[in-house]
Structure 1
Amino acid sequence: GATGGVGLAAVQLAKACGCIVIGSGSSKEGRDMCQRAGADHVVDHSSDAHFDEVVALTGGKGVDIIIEMLANQNLAKDLGALAIGGRVAVVGSRGPIEINPRELMQKETCIVGVANAFQHSDPLEAAEMHQRIFDGLKSGALKPIVNGSSFTLKNASKAHEYIANNKGAQGKVVLKIDQGLLFRSESMDSTTVDMDRTMSIESSTGA
């Protein structure tokens, strides 16, 4: 759905690029949040008919891009909702799924995986993406939405558990950094992370 941290950011970025955005959410609260983030239309993805509703909202043409958060459940149905030449960007999946490649052939559509766009882009593309994000934050087009849940950095594992068990995701979860992890350098006017302490925390939560 479009009610979690990634989905809401995608809604705002798409609107900033001039797209007509259709978001989805399973709860009324999430759908309302998605609409406030800028979505032009919001559908209830707990309904079996929501893909038909999405296609109907495009006048039967289908959508150009689908940002897919749960590909192992939705990818096969996504293909039927695409317009000619459309694509599915997979940003999340919890297992395998079987699809019919003929659906890709009929509309000349494609599926792409998205995980480390900045890492895999050339320097110019990465710089452009960074600049678009900074410009959006500066103009107010992009506004991080926080769901009110926060955890200390040393309890990051609990934050992961919260996200994994929270089916009605709404906005971002915040990790708060203890002031003890920071020190002010006398040689330069900046705040630096104490890497010894930080690394010990990372190693304890990485398991």
Structure 2
Amino acid sequence: MKAIEISSPGAPEVLRVVDRPVPVPVAGELLVRVEASGVNRPDVLQRTGHYPVPPGASDIPGLEIAGVIESGDAAALAEHGFAIGDRVCALVAGGGYAEYCVAPVAQCLPVPKGMSSLEAAALPETFFTVWSNVFDRVALQPGETLLVHGGSSGIGVTAIQLAKALGAKVIVTAGNDEKCAACVALGADHAINYKATDFVEEVKRLTEGRGVNVILDMVAGAYVERNIRCLADDGRLVIIAVQGGTHSEINAGLVLRRRLTVTGSTLRPRSVAFKGAIARALRQKVWPLLEAGRVKSVVYRALAVEAVEGSVGQANGAVQAHALMESNVHVGKIVLTW
């Protein structure tokens, strides 16, 4: 099969199309003929040498795929209601940038009715992450207000839609007025251009001084102290990335007096059982929203890998996808097609 490997840590141009053996599924796994692969910020971190591959995972980047089941553990397939030839999307610990990929059956979901593989490949990583953190870890409730930093990112557009569909209010931050407008079009109640406005003061104004109940943060660093000032009493801050740095200085007195929760998580190293539980919750509570059109896949751009005979060498589609990701101009997801 053709696959994309990281020849050495560095710029997008280190991504190369190579020949690799087709992986073989073991007990509890299936083999997917990949039609599309989602591109995510952790892929960029892995490419630059800042996100080590978990033990046992493929060195090939890519955390989400969509395609057709080629083979797999018959008992596991039957247990989860799948059959050879079914179209699925899956969260994987690696190996997604390839023509074939193995995935734990428990981490697979059917491609939602009416959706293409291209659209479905944009779902798993962000939907698993948002559900696990916003709805499981900090238990956002109907009627509460969620603040999402990076509202135009793949995580952001997913959080906006799920929170609104499940009865919450949503405030987001984004880096320009165009991105703010896109977030409002997706359902956000308010969007703050953080480069033009102090988001702490704007959140206080929008909430009449009460603050928000939950914050989903991908920045960390100096944002943690500012986020704490945005929280209402009994508010919850969940950190899922540290793009602004790992060190923060906070007013612990505010945490005590206002009964605040500061937590965080990373999904990639968690067990198959943990991710399988998220998949079951998504299938029950979120997939009906996708099939009803109340929540949608937001694909900013699809890029062909150009994995054709004689193409071994520079992976043009992947190189372009990572350069686009690093430009931060996109709204929603970037997807590779095979």
TM-score, length-scaled by structure 2: 0.48
**Map of 2:247 onto structure 1:** 97
User: Per-residue deviation at 1:50?
Assistant: 1.8
Which of 290, 298, 301 pairs up with 1:148? 301
Residues 87/151 of structure 1: CA separation in 2 closer, same or farther (3 Å cut): farther
User: Which of 100-109 and 50-59 deviates more?
Assistant: 100-109
Instruction: Report Cα offsets for 1:13-38 as digits up to 9, x if no partner.
Output: 00011001111211121111100110
Q: Which has the higher contact order (CA 8 A, sep 6+)?
A: 2
**Residue 170 in structure 1 maps to residue 319 in structure 2:** no
SS of corresponding position for 2:286: helix
SS of corresponding position for 2:328: coil
Which of 86, 90, 106 pairs up with 2:257? 106
Paired with 1:132 and 1:149, the residues of 2 have a C-alpha distance of: 28
Gaps of 5+ in 1: 178-207
Paired with 1:168 and 1:106, the residues of 2 have a C-alpha distance of: 40
**Residue 58 in structure 1 maps to residue 207 in structure 2:** yes
User: Per-residue deviation at 1:76?
Assistant: 1.3
SS of corresponding position for 1:98: coil
Q: What pairs with 1:177-192 in structure 2 (closer than 5 Å)?
A: 177=338
Verify the 8 A CA contact 2:169 2:189 in the aligned structure 1.
Answer: yes
**Map of 1:42 onto structure 2:** 191
Paired with 2:158 and 2:175, the residues of 1 have a C-alpha distance of: 18
Which of 252, 257, 282 pairs up with 1:129? 282
Paired with 1:67 and 1:33, the residues of 2 have a C-alpha distance of: 18
Paired with 2:261 and 2:276, the residues of 1 have a C-alpha distance of: 25
TM-score, length-scaled by structure 1: 0.75
Verify the 8 A CA contact 1:78 1:88 in the aligned structure 2.
Answer: yes
SS of corresponding position for 1:71: coil
Residues 103/161 of structure 1: CA separation in 2 closer, same or farther (3 Å cut): farther
Higher fraction of helix: 1
Q: Which runs of 4+ in 1 moved over 3 A?
A: 117-126, 153-158
Verify the 8 A CA contact 1:27 1:168 in the aligned structure 2.
Answer: no
Residues 11/110 of structure 1: CA separation in 2 closer, same or farther (3 Å cut): same
Verify the 8 A CA contact 2:220 2:248 in the aligned structure 1.
Answer: no
**Residue 9 in structure 1 maps to residue 158 in structure 2:** yes
Q: How many residues align?
A: 176
What RMSD, in angstroms, separates the aligned Cα atoms of the two structures? Answer: 2.3
